[in-house]
Amino acid sequence: MADNKFAAYICSGCGLGDKFNIAGLEKVAKTEGKMTVIKTHPFLCNAEGVQMIKDDIANDGVTHLCIAACSRRAKTEAFVFPTAAVSRANLREGVLWIVAEGSDHDEVRQEMAEDYVRMGCAEIKKMKVPEGNVKESSSKRILVVGGGMSGMTAAMAAADAGYEVVLVEKTGALGGFAKNLFKRVPFAAPYAEAQPTGVAELAAQVSSHPKIKVHLNSTLAETAGAPGRFTAKVAQESGSVTEELCGAIVQTTGFTTYDIAKLPELGGGQANVVDQAGLEALAIAANGGAIKRADGKEVKSVAFVQCAGQRDESGTHLAYCSGHCCATSIKQAMYFKDANPDIDAVVIYDDLRVPGMGEDFYRSAQQKGVIFTKGKASKVTGGDSCKVEFKDLILDETATVDADLVVLATGQVPNAGVNLDEWTTINTAADGGNEEAKQQRTALESTSVLNLAYRQGPDMPQFKYGFADSHFICFPYETRRTGIYAAGPMRRPMDMLQATEDATGAALKAIQAVENVGLGRSPFPRVGDLSFPTARLEGCTQCKRCTVECPFGAIDEDERRFPLFNEERCRRCGTCMGACPVRVISFENYSCDTVGSQVKAVNVPDEEDEKPRILILACENDAYPALDMAGMQRLTYSAFVRVIPVRCLGSVNTIWITDALGAGYDGVMMMGCQKGDNYQCHFVKGSEMAYYRLSKIGDTLKGMGLEPERMLTYEIAITDGARVAKIIDDYVAQLIEMGPSPMKGFG
Amino acid sequence: MTTANENAVAKYKNNFLKEVEATVEEGHWVKMCMQCGVCAGSCPFGPHWEHSPQKIFMMIRAGKREEVLKSDSMWMCTSCYNCMVRCPRELPITHIMHGLANYAYRLGLSPKGQPNQAIAKLFWDSALKYGRVNELKFSLAMYFRDGFVQGVKNALAMQSVGLGLVKAGRLNPMEIISGHTCKDTSGIHKMIAKAREIEDRRRGLA
Amino acid sequence: MTKKQYAFYPGCSSQKGASAANYITSFGVICDKLDIQLNEIPDWNCCAASIGYAEGGELPRIVMGARNLALSEQHLPGQDIVSGCPACWLANREATERLQHSSSLMAEANEALKEVSLNLRSDFNTKSRHFTEVLIEDIGYAAMKEAVIKPLAGVKIAGYVGCQANRPYGIAGESFENPQYLDKMIETCGAEAVPYDQKVTCCGGALAFSEPEKAQALIQDIVGSAYDHGADMIVTPCPLCQANVEIYQSEINKKKGTKFNMPVVYYTQLMNVAYGGSIKEAGLDGQLIRAEKLEKIAGK
């Protein structure tokens, strides 16, 4: 510590100097914050102010600085001091802008500001500058798994950007599902006619690209390692295995069509009832001429049944909409109309869903005379003369359509590999010695795509219906395996245009990953973060909570069963730190101490002061910005709260809460992202973990003689500026009603 | 001799949509309906008809020829054009409904004694006779369309209104003897006869 | 100053002694003040209106319009056709656009027009316009306001646009659901346009005759809402709306026990009074329900 020099820089600009007693803040920094250097500047973020700090670092040996000015989310480009540890006391968005106007509030406003200075000074004393861990040998090659439309697009995007690509394709040819299409739904103006698929041309480009290495008839026998150092064992059909070193992986393993045989009520399995893939085969055979059935008879009338085995509410078939099938049926009906306008083509639909420019395509089919009937098919009879019985949803009656051929628009079933929930159950039983489970595990693992050598299972976690989990709203290609990206219909149902867009996005994410990982930086979402977790193993009890709770499977166990961090897989969320009961896990710049010391630094008023004190632990991704937003909108909330940003609610260690309540705080508010199926947590499971952990804190509170309402959790979205202000005021009112914490004075 | 209706049935067989496209004003738009139902919710006489435009269009596609042509729905059109301006597919719904009404009427399938059909015919007859509409004769004809006794009742019921209009100079009782008229009424009659002849030929109604 | 010249198509209801005679009367002072000259198309015939569909069919209806267009081209070349009646405007404009759009329809129409020794050139480009369009587009709100000498201060008005003055063509730049032009015109006269949720409700149109119950239910809403919003009177740009909404109030009172006595006047009557016109010049003596507030100002 001898070399450390601590400095506080107080800004009096933006009106801070008018509303605060700056001398008071300086005094707090000096006497309580124990800062060596204390400087006030009227415009700290301007060139002169920033230069003043830089000079102090360069000439005066300042290593740790607390900037008491605006929110840590503001002026991020001005306040960059890579060699120094920096904390920020949020006096502007956090105090000046949210405390009610008027001299009545001068006292609480000043108290709040002084507390934030105390907290900033306390935090900086516990922080270190992250040193980072540059990996010279990190691989920048990108492995693409699956050679369909998505895979070929991802490979081309990465290769054209200058990255070497290894593409592994299970079958003997590139092209995937798309190579068996006669034409594709239009993707360019005027969106009126089906277009050539372009698959063969793209496959030729991929095959001849100097930066792309293609393995056909190949699967992945094992994928081990971490971003920047994945080793993939590529197994050829012949049995030979090649090892490929890669930095990131894009998985584009597509979909399988829903098995038509599972739809006997809709004629599945009967003659002249085909699915859309079957119709494509007939169209390819006809090659623009008259489309003939399997028995050679020319089709004069055709009926398309939409949502066949999809959007099923009975639980028997697919519950979801596959998105592409309406446009596909429109395209296929046009095959008939274009060959012969006199052919009757009827599309029986419930809701015609044509995303993108599909509405123009739909209109074009209507112009060509395709009949669209809003109805729900109940029964299809195949054979020489097929019949579709349906409920006409406009005329509210049952009706029948006769046709030579019936096409069922079935859905997409994702090929995302092993369901990890299922695998985990079987794996636990197998590890326990259950022989049957061992066999099941072997069988299950044989269906794996990636065969990841991760303790968390052989494939990426899935969300619903077998699609790969991805942050649906904000980061669609991110999976819960760092450096492995999902694109195309294995991620969610989609059409070809969406799949190609998806693939391009995933390729860019893979590039971002290999570049950051090589520099020892977090790839996502704390892009560029050089910190990473370390564990003080001598204190570790080998409870495994960190390995289990890590949402990204970053933590393995070493041979002595201590946690072994795969730094490159880590997203720096701190969920491991929150999970650790003995608090041995920490980051250089974020630890139980950096937050705990802030909790302790706050001046908690006595009972007689009648000023409740409330701690807010706010997720830095959504809740903290929402609080800033409240300030920017000049909304007011109670000056009795003290906010500490956390990386994720998952990183919250319960010691902070018990420490706060033990010190006489009247209440604790936990603000994190939405959890559950529609989660918005940037770390997917972080907020869910936190809620789970905190649900068990009630007994601890009871033991302290505290009401359970002294600690509440809230789901806050980034747009909740107004809501969050109201929530705070309501909670403060509730606490005033409850009376002061019985712990006051004992702390 | 076969009727126009029999001819149409023979010509278009079971393809009513094709028949509508060939014979009904703006009928080629029917296939472009996307069944959203905005028209149904936009009609001021919404509660009073049996089939919304949406249903009529669906029935046409389903080949329900008799049901469509005998429906009273088209006759409930006030010509407010609300359905037409709201239609997201920009179908000229008002014109199609008028066209269907006209076609049904010309085939002799439209509902008999439908009051709005009667007024539409009276209006046209009045307009054609003198080239301009004679409001008094038009109103009297309307009141008396159900016979003399009912007509007197109808006229008496609206007597105060009529007298008010006369007093206000907005209804001229002398119109019963001589009203406004075009000079070239005979030319207009010939012109319209010609137009009708051309159109009937085109629609197969000749 | 030279007057702006227009071919004028009065329409059946606006003839002398017809139901909208007072509407045309009220144009006089306005045209004088704003230098507008309306030249009646010689021997014009009925526009065929929308209701003509049943007996008229498509071509005969269009041909009725075509004759008016041809007469106007022949006698008043280069002048836009202006009508005060939205139904006439709609029918004439529809005929124009349909004929311009379809060469086969044009050929058929010309075949029929031969019977009256008229012809439409394939490139005829006469515009059919409503009188409000002339006021708004050619004169402008500012000039309309400048001509006011007796602002209608304190008069609260529900601007009832109705159907065919608004749909399917309407005034350029206005929305079908909530057109503003009538309210603006009311305000140029110094009156107050009250909020009015029945602004574009159908009055039943021609079916007011044949479906009295159904139409009167709509009219009850139209008048009722004007009362609810504190209007002294309803103002409309349409003769059929004016007639239906004014005439049937006494019927509704009889059947529904309401006490409706809401004057329904034309926007031109407002302007006429604001421009200094007398009760007679403004056609206010033609009201079944007298617009006392306007008469008071006109009588000053």
The predicted-structure confidence for A550-576, as pLDDT tens digits, reads as follows 999 999 999 999 999 999 999 999 999
Q: Is B154 on the interface with C (CB under 8 A)?
A: no
In a domain, A331, yes or no: yes
How is residue C157 annotated by DSSP? E
Which residues of A are less than 8 Å from B54 in CB distance? 394
Which residues of A are less than 8 Å from B39 in CB distance? none
Picking from A364, A388, A395 by the largest number of B CB atoms within 10 A of its own CB, the best residue to mutate is A395
Q: Compute the nearest-CA separation of B62 from chain C (Å).
A: 25
- pLDDT for res A81: 95
Judge whether residue A30 has pLDDT over 80.
Answer: yes
Which residues of B are less than 8 Å from C117 in CB distance? 187
Whole-number percent of chain B with pLDDT over 70:
90
Are chains B and A in touch, 3+ Cβ pairs below 8 Å? Answer: yes
Cα gap C204→C185, rounded to integer Å? 25
Mean pLDDT of A256-272: 97
Cβ within 8 Å of residue A208, ≥6 positions away: none
- pLDDT for res A1: 44
- pLDDT for res A744: 85
Question: Cβ of B58 and A399 within 8 Å?
Answer: no
Judge whether residue B177 has pLDDT over 90.
Answer: no
- pLDDT for res A696: 87
The predicted-structure confidence for A128-178, as pLDDT tens digits, reads as follows 999 888 888 899 999 999 999 999 999 999 999 999 999 999 999 999 999
Residue boundaries of the structural domains of chain C: 4-131, 149-299
Q: Is C59 on the interface with B (CB under 8 A)?
A: yes
In a domain, A644, yes or no: yes
Cβ within 8 Å of residue A323, ≥6 positions away: A353, A355, A493, A494, A495, A498
- Whether A56 and A70 map to the same domain: the answer is yes
- Whether A158 and A264 map to the same domain: the answer is no
Picking from C9, C23, C41, C50 by the largest number of B CB atoms within 10 A of its own CB, the best residue to mutate is C50
Whole-number percent of chain C with pLDDT over 70:
100
Joined together, the tokens standing for residue C66 give: 């075509």
In a domain, A686, yes or no: yes
Q: Compute the nearest-CA separation of B36 from chain A (Å).
A: 10
Least confident stretch, A229-238, A471-480, C112-121 = A471-480
User: Nearest residue of A to residue B31 by CA position?
Assistant: A366
The predicted-structure confidence for A61-110, as pLDDT tens digits, reads as follows 999 999 999 999 999 999 999 999 999 999 999 999 999 999 999 999 99
CB atoms within 10 A of CB C163: 28
Backbone angles phi, psi at A277, to 5 degrees: -65, -40
Picking from B21, B57, B61 by the largest number of A CB atoms within 10 A of its own CB, the best residue to mutate is B61
- Whether A264 and A403 map to the same domain: the answer is yes
Judge whether residue A2 has pLDDT over 60.
Answer: no
Residue that finishes a domain, picked among A386, A414, A442 = A414
Q: Is B127 on the interface with C (CB under 8 A)?
A: yes
**Chain C, window 132-161: residues with a beta carbon less than 8 angstroms from a chain B beta carbon:** none
Q: Compute the nearest-CA separation of C146 from chain B (Å).
A: 32
Cα gap A11→A608, rounded to integer Å? 33
Mean pLDDT of A188-214: 97
Which residues of B are less than 8 Å from A352 in CB distance? 34
Q: Is B137 on the interface with C (CB under 8 A)?
A: no
- Whether A264 and A365 map to the same domain: the answer is yes
Whole-number percent of chain A with pLDDT over 90:
92
> What is the ipTM, given to two decimal places?
0.94
Mean pLDDT of B97-110: 96
In a domain, A446, yes or no: no
The predicted-structure confidence for B53-101, as pLDDT tens digits, reads as follows 999 999 999 999 999 999 999 999 999 999 999 999 999 999 999 999 9
Question: Cβ of B123 and C167 within 8 Å?
Answer: no
Are chains B and C in touch, 3+ Cβ pairs below 8 Å? Answer: yes
User: Tell me, what CATH number does A182's domain have?
Assistant: 3.50.50.60
- Whether A169 and A206 map to the same domain: the answer is yes
Question: Cβ of B168 and C285 within 8 Å?
Answer: yes
| Strand residue runs (E) in A225-270 | 230-236, 241-246, 248-251, 255-257
Instruction: Return the CATH fold of C149-299.
Output: Rossmann fold (3.40.50)
Q: Which residues of A525-560 are buried (b: 16+ CB within 10 A; e: fewer)?
A: bbeebbbbbebeeeebeeeebbbebbbbbbbbeeee
Pick C60's closest partner by Cβ from B82, B183, B199. B199
Q: Is B121 on the interface with C (CB under 8 A)?
A: yes
Rg (CA), chain B: 19
- Whether A630 and A699 map to the same domain: the answer is yes
> How many Å from the N-terminal Cα to the C-terminal Cα in chain C?
29
- pLDDT for res B178: 57
Q: Which residues of A94-124 are buried (b: 16+ CB within 10 A; e: fewer)?
A: bbbbbbeeeeeeeebbbbbbbbbbbbbbbbb
The predicted-structure confidence for A306-334, as pLDDT tens digits, reads as follows 999 999 999 999 999 999 999 999 999 99
The predicted-structure confidence for A515-546, as pLDDT tens digits, reads as follows 999 999 998 889 889 999 999 999 999 999 99
- Whether A616 and A742 map to the same domain: the answer is yes
- Whether A290 and A401 map to the same domain: the answer is yes
Instruction: Name the band, by pLDDT with cuts 50, 70 and 90, for residue B159.
Output: confident
- pLDDT for res B1: 62
Q: Provide the mean pLDDT of chain A.
A: 95
The predicted-structure confidence for A413-437, as pLDDT tens digits, reads as follows 999 999 999 999 999 999 999 999 9
Judge whether residue C49 has pLDDT over 80.
Answer: yes
Q: Compute the nearest-CA separation of A145 from chain B (Å).
A: 41
Mean pLDDT of A659-682: 94
User: Tell me, what CATH number does A37's domain have?
Assistant: 3.40.50.960
Task: Give the 3-state secondary structure of residue A648.
Answer: coil
The count of domains in chain A is: 5
In a domain, A325, yes or no: yes
Cα gap C152→A284, rounded to integer Å? 76
Residues pairing with A618 in the sheet: A645, A671
In a domain, A432, yes or no: no
Residues pairing with A255 in the sheet: A414
Strand order, beta sheet including C4-9: C36-40, C4-9, C81-83, C128-130
The predicted-structure confidence for A619-650, as pLDDT tens digits, reads as follows 999 999 999 999 999 999 999 999 999 999 99
Cα gap A730→A738, rounded to integer Å? 12
Pick B58's closest partner by Cβ from A366, A369, A394. A394
The predicted-structure confidence for B15-42, as pLDDT tens digits, reads as follows 999 999 999 999 999 999 999 999 999 9
pTM for the model stands at: 0.89
Question: Cβ of B89 and A352 within 8 Å?
Answer: no
**A301: alpha, beta or left, given left = phi > 0 and alpha = psi -120 to 50?**
beta
Judge whether residue A257 has pLDDT over 50.
Answer: yes
Q: Is B180 on the interface with C (CB under 8 A)?
A: yes
- pLDDT for res A414: 98
Least confident stretch, A389-398, A469-478, A686-695, C244-253 = A469-478
In a domain, A431, yes or no: no
- Whether A582 and A621 map to the same domain: the answer is no
- Whether A250 and A278 map to the same domain: the answer is no
What subunits touch chain C, counting only 3 or more CB pairs under 8 A?
A: B
Q: Are the C-beta atoms of residues A583 and A534 closer than 8 Å to each other? A: no
Which residues of B are less than 8 Å from A374 in CB distance? 35, 58
* Torsion A498-A500-A505-A506 (CA) sign: positive
Could you tell me the residue range of the domain that residue A474 belongs to? 142-254+460-518
Question: Cβ of C55 and B105 within 8 Å?
Answer: yes
The predicted-structure confidence for A433-462, as pLDDT tens digits, reads as follows 999 999 999 999 999 999 999 989 999 999
- Whether A639 and A702 map to the same domain: the answer is yes
- Whether A115 and A202 map to the same domain: the answer is no
Q: Compute the nearest-CA separation of B195 from chain A (Å).
A: 29
What subunits touch chain B, counting only 3 or more CB pairs under 8 A?
A: A, C
Pick C202's closest partner by Cβ from B80, B123, B169. B80
Q: Is B152 on the interface with C (CB under 8 A)?
A: no
The domains located in chain B, with CATH, are 4-112 (1.10.1060.10), 115-196 (no CATH)
Question: Cβ of C286 and B120 within 8 Å?
Answer: no
* Residue written as token pair 């697009």: A153
CA atoms within a 13 Å half-sphere pointing along the CA-CB vector of A54: 12
Which residues of B are less than 8 Å from A366 in CB distance? 31-32, 34
CA atoms within a 13 Å half-sphere pointing along the CA-CB vector of A607: 10
Q: CATH number of C4-131: 1.20.1050.140, 3.40.50.720, 3.30.930.10, 3.40.50.300?
A: 1.20.1050.140
- pLDDT for res A50: 97
Mean pLDDT of C140-151: 97
Q: Are the C-beta atoms of residues A66 and A35 closer than 8 Å to each other? A: yes
Instruction: Name the band, by pLDDT with cuts 50, 70 and 90, for residue A717.
Output: very high
User: Nearest residue of C to residue B92 by CA position?
Assistant: C168
